[in-house]
Amino acid sequence: MDLICLKDICKTYYLGEVEVPVLHGISLSIRKGEMVALMGASGSGKSTLMNILGCLDHPTGGEYWLDGREMSSLAPNERALVRTEKIGFVFQSFNLLARTTALQNVVMPLDYSPSHTSHREARRRARELLDRVGLADRIEHVPSQMSGGQQQRVAISRALISRPSLVLADEPTGNLDSHTSVEILRMFQRLNAEGITVVLVTHDPKVAAFATRTIRIADGLIEADETNAPVDAGTAESGVWRAESGADGGSEVALPEPSASAVAQESASDSGLGWLGSLLPATWRTALNALRRNKMRAGLSALGVIIAVAAVIAMTEIGQGSKAMLQKSIASMGANTIMIFSGSTTNSTGVNKGMGSVVTLTPQDCREIARQCPAVQCAAPLVRTRSQIVCGNKNCVPEQVYGTTPDYLEVRDWKKMELGQMFTERDVLNSNKVCVIGNTVRQSLFGKQSPIGKEIRVSNVAFRVVGVLSRKGANMVGMDQDNIVLAPWTTIKFRVSGATLANTNQSASATSESSETAADTSVNTLSDLYPKTKTFYLSRTTTQEADRPVSVRFTNVDQIVAKAISDKKIDKAIKQMTSLLRQRHHIRPPAEDDFMIRDMAEMTKVMSSSTQLMSTLLLVVAMISLLVGGVGIMNIMLVSVTERTREIGLRMAVGARSHHILRQFLVEAVVLCLSGGALGILMGRGASFLVRWIVRWPTQASLATIIAAVAVSVLVGVVFGFYPAWKASRLDPIEALRYE
Ligand code: ADP
Ligand code: MG
């Protein structure tokens, strides 16, 4: 049966405008099991015909039937598949992968075989083949450590690994001395005897004599087709060859039976990657080996990514640190502060009485806000009074005299005391007459003396100074924040302002209505010389008494100040507080809130815009440096594709399809970028650690950045590796093999 059938095969090369006709209609058929020598002068078109036979190239005219299937019209990838399944190639120049062991070279075609041979099985087969060609002890040698004959034997093993039915050899002995040539040719004879069809190209009649049939080509046409005498090549025309092979005598080089010991012997380093090799998919193995072979270049190309990622990581860590510090310092200005005032009411005649005209906020509200609202970090009640402070012969009127709890300092981010201590919760419970003063008050009352333990009088109530607050300066509206006196709210409420200030109404709003009307008339009546004496105790009707049993002391506070846990949580905190207060104050949907909540929207905006700016800047710098790193990778990958053109051609010749090549180069780029990224992360973290350690800048590690850096470096690998990989995959196998 015919394995190969050529009908009128023509091949014309087109060099721009010029046509170079090489084959002018070649018809021949080769049966299974033949050993054919294609002979002809140099330039007669032997290699061209061979490439067509090997499905590396397609003819410009005619039909090529291989094993009953027409080949000339197949697409490149389909031809590649035929090559892996049916054809083994042996080249004049061996075409072994440099810096790759014999074993790996032999295994290579199986990576592209659709048969999915396991790596273990592939190695076993390769070992067996190398043993048969007498190279059992050269398995770990790389081509540069082997003689030409040994290299060609490795190449023959490679051609046989996927068990082809056809072996094509283009001048397989062209680069070998005559003694080695005989060894190689005997090997082909032996293969042929095992049933493999062999086609040899040669210009040397001595080589052709080893075949059973010789086809001569001249000027693109078959000149002669003759069957050789079925005798051993040694008895043929060449005396020299006979002499040499005779001298070699009994040394049977060709394909000895495998020795069991060599095949059984396994070494972990076969794949070049240790145990990892057999676990990885072929593409990864190939890519990693390619990188391993070029460590220096791989390192250099990854350097761009390493530096980029390191810079990004270091910058983000430092940036995050300063951002957090900035955020904290803006927060200490009160950006996260939320103030709750008791609401305004509109009386029956439609006159709005302004903020605070109803007293609704209680210290319990404050406590519950701090306890129940997750977005609120802390909260403190505030009772305001304005009064003269006297100490000895000096006096002053602070802008703020506040009754509050120790939590107030946390709300205001006022954690440091300059002297002494803040008063305690116990002082609040006991309405102790203690206070802390701001720096301005201290200056005006005590000058350079320490005020701790001294007494000051607030509205004629003596307070002992227990602490001095640290300086805060003026706030955004120019108010001196240090002109302040803080005391327990209970003390201010019940000992200072309770007796003096009219607006701290100690009764519920509903019950005060009647007295207010009375007060209104009394104020507006000009005829009354003496205003009615104010009733100290409010009058209550009997129904009112029954409805609301007298609460012992309904304590209200003027204001509650709270702090959200972060600037982003302010809205959430407001929502939580609103619903909590409405619930606590029994307000049903149509009714409006009886309190008002204010936040520092302006300051929050400044804060978020400044931190936003910083993040954006960092991102831009990160992007640019990664881009530079990526361009570096692309550059070197492109160089490497050019440099490895022959390798690519070879891989394609033994059956790699374009997606194999594309994937291999993509994986190389991604591995480069990933390892660069990993190293970069380490270096970046190291750098930020050094910065924190030496320069003492705040840094903040973030897992998100590290994950992003890894993801982005993979992306960079894919994006910038794609073009070179695509270019490689589009190479034409023959052109690539010829590339110098
Ligand atoms: P040989 O018989 O020595 O192997 P080839 O088949 O390699 O000869 O080449 C046959 C002819 O085809 C030569 O004249 C060569 O110049 C020409 N040729 C081969 N390959 C190409 C090509 N890619 N483009 C143009 N001409 C080519
Ligand atoms: Mg040639």
pTM, two decimals, is 0.67
pLDDT attached to residue 213: 94
The model's pLDDT over 432-472, given as tens digits with 9 standing for 90+, comes to: 889 998 888 888 888 888 888 888 888 888 889 998 888 88
**Which domain-ending residue is among 565, 583, 599?**
599
Which range, of 315-319, 409-413, 537-541, averages the lowest pLDDT? 537-541
Residue 514 lies in a domain: no
What residues have their beta carbon closer than 5 A to ion ligand 2?
47
The pick from 9, 17, 19, 20 for probing ligand 1's pocket by mutation, whose C-beta has the most ligand atoms within 8 angstroms, reads 20
pLDDT at 649: 92
Claim to verify: residue 212 and residue 103 sit in the same structural domain: yes
Q: Name which of 119-128, 292-301, 302-311, 318-327 the model is least confident about.
A: 318-327
Residues 6+ apart with CB under 8 A from 469: 409, 414, 417, 418, 436, 437, 438, 439, 482, 484, 486
Amino acid in position 413: D
Cα 520 from Cα 589, distance rounded (Å): 32
Ligand nearest the Cα atom of residue 172: 2
Q: To test the ligand 1 pocket, which listed residue (48, 92, 738, 739) has its Cβ within 8 A of the most ligand atoms?
A: 48
First to last CA, the chain: 40
| Residues 135/158, Cβ–Cβ less than 8 Å | no
Cα–ligand 2 centroid distance for 143 (angstroms):
23
39 pLDDT more than 90: yes
- Give me the phi and psi of 552, to 5 degrees please: -60, -55
pLDDT in tens, 686-724: 999 998 888 888 888 888 888 888 888 888 888 989 999
Q: How far apart are CA 201 and CA 180, in angstroms?
A: 17
Is the domain of 392 the same as that of 484? yes
SS3 of 319-354: the string is HHHHHHHHHHHHHHHHHCEEEEEECCCECCCCCECC
Distance CA 270, CA 277 (A): 8
Which atom of ligand 1 is least distant from the CA of 49? 6
pLDDT at 726: 92
- Rounded to the nearest whole angstrom, what is the distance from the C-alpha of residue 47 to the centroid of ligand 2? 4
CB of 197 closer than 8 Å to CB of 166? yes
Q: What does the alpha-carbon distance between residue 526 and residue 543 come to, in Å, rounded to a whole number? A: 34
Ligand nearest to the CA of 91: 2
DSSP string of 234-267?
GGSS-HHHHHHHHHHTT---S-PPPPHHHHH---
Query: Domain check: are 363 and 236 in the same one?
Result: no
Distance 646 CA to ligand 1 centre (A): 18
- Counting ligand 1 atoms within 8 A of each CB, the residue from 13, 58, 221 with the most, and so the one to mutate, is 13
Ligand 1 centre and the CA of 48: distance in Å?
6
3-state class of 700 per DSSP?
Answer: coil
Q: Which of 318, 450, 321, 440 is nearest to 389 (CA)?
A: 440
H or E segment and range at residue 411: helix 407-411
Q: Is 648 found in the same domain as 589?
A: no
User: 322 with 431, same domain?
Assistant: no
For residue 629 the two structure tokens come to: 């790193």
- The verdict on 499 and 481 lying in the same domain is yes
User: Which three-class secondary structure state does DSSP give residue 426?
Assistant: helix
Neighbours of 276 (CB within 10 A): 13
CATH code for position 51: 3.40.50.300
Domain presence at residue 48: yes
- The answer to whether residues 190 and 257 belong to one domain is yes
HSE toward the beta carbon, residue 526, CA cutoff 13 A: 0
Percent of the chain exceeding pLDDT 70 equals: 83
Q: Position 597: which residue type? A: I
State what percent of residues in the chain have pLDDT above 90.
26
Q: How far is the CA of 21 from the centre of ligand 1 (A)?
A: 9
> What confidence score (pLDDT) does residue 254 get?
42
Q: Is residue 287 part of a domain?
A: no
* 3-state SS record for 158-203: HHHCCCCCEEEEECCCCCCCHHHHHHHHHHHHHHHHCCCEEEEEEC
Residue 558's φ and ψ, nearest 5 degrees, are -75, -35
Boundary-marking domain end, from 534, 569, 599? 599
At position 237, the amino acid (one-letter code) is E
User: Residue 21 — pLDDT band, cuts 50, 70, 90?
Assistant: very high
How much distance in Å is there from the Cα of 43 to the middle of ligand 1?
A: 6
Domain closes at, from 227, 253, 268: 268
Among candidates 307, 224, 272, 342, which has minimal Cα distance to 126? 272
Bridge-based pairing of strands 197-202 and 35-40 is parallel
What is the reported pLDDT for 680?
92
Q: How far apart are CA 54 and CA 46, in angstroms?
A: 12
Residue 68 lies inside a defined structural domain of this protein: no
- Which residues contact ligand 1 via a Cβ below 6 A? 13, 15, 20, 22, 40, 42-48
What's the 3-state SS for 544-610? Answer: HHHHCCCCCCCCCCCEEEEEECCHHHHHHHHHHHHHHHHHHCCCCCCCCCCEEEEECHHHHHHHHHH
Q: What is the mean pLDDT of the chain?
A: 81
Least confident of 38-47, 192-201, 352-361, 669-678: 352-361
Is the separation of the CB atoms in 164 and 196 below 8 Å? yes
What b/e readout covers 4-32, taking b as 16+ CB neighbours within 10 angstroms? bbbbebbbeeeeeeeeeebbbebebebee
Provide the pLDDT for residue 415. Answer: 75
Report the SS3 class of residue 543.
helix
Specify if 523 maps to a domain: no
**Distances 556 to 425, 509, 511 between C-alpha atoms, Å:** 18, 11, 15
Per-residue pLDDT reduced to its tens digit, 573-619: 888 888 888 888 888 887 777 788 888 776 677 777 877 787 788 77
Q: Are residues 590 and 619 in the same domain?
A: no
Range of the domain at 493: 337-345+354-504+553-599
Q: Is residue 512 part of a domain?
A: no
Q: What's the confidence (pLDDT) of residue 18?
A: 93
Do residues 287 and 664 touch, judged by C-beta distance below 8 A?
yes
Structural domain includes residue 526: no
Q: What are the b/e assignments for 55-91, b being 16+ CB within 10 Å?
A: bbbbbbebebbbbeeebbebebeebbbbbbbbbbbbb
Domain count across the chain? 3
Same domain for 414 and 498, yes or no, is yes
Torsional sign, CA 174, 177, 181, 184: negative
Nearest Cα residue to atom 16 of ligand 1:
43
Give the position, in ligand 1's atom list, of the atom nearest the Cα of 201.
Answer: 4
| Statement: residue 263 has pLDDT above 50 | no
Same domain as 583, residue 450: yes
Nearest CA to ligand 1 atom 15: 43
**Per residue in 181-222, pLDDT tens?**
998 999 999 999 999 999 999 988 989 999 999 999 998 899
Ligand 1 nearest-atom number relative to CA 42: 3
Residues 584 and 612 placed together within one structural domain of the fold: no
Pocket of ligand 1, candidates 12, 17, 22, 221: which has the most ligand atoms within 8 Å of its Cβ, to mutate?
Answer: 22
Q: How far apart are CA 175 and CA 358, in angstroms?
A: 107
Q: Is residue 534 part of a domain?
A: no
In ligand 1, the atom with minimum distance to the C-alpha of 170 is 4
pLDDT tens digits for range 63-116:
999 998 999 888 888 999 999 999 999 988 889 998 889 999 999 999 888 888
Q: Which of 162, 38, 263 has its CA nearest to residue 654?
A: 162
Note the pLDDT tens digit of each residue in 477-510: 777 888 888 889 888 888 776 543 334 343 333 3
**Do 304 and 432 fall into the same domain?**
no
| Mutational test site, ligand 1, from 47, 200, 201, max ligand atoms within 8 Å of CB | 47
Name the burial class of residue 650, with classes exposed (0-12), middle (13-18) and buried (19+) by CB atoms within 10 angstroms of its CB: buried
Distance between CA atoms of 45 and 43, rounded to whole angstroms?
A: 5
Distance in Å, CA 224 to ligand 2 centroid: 19
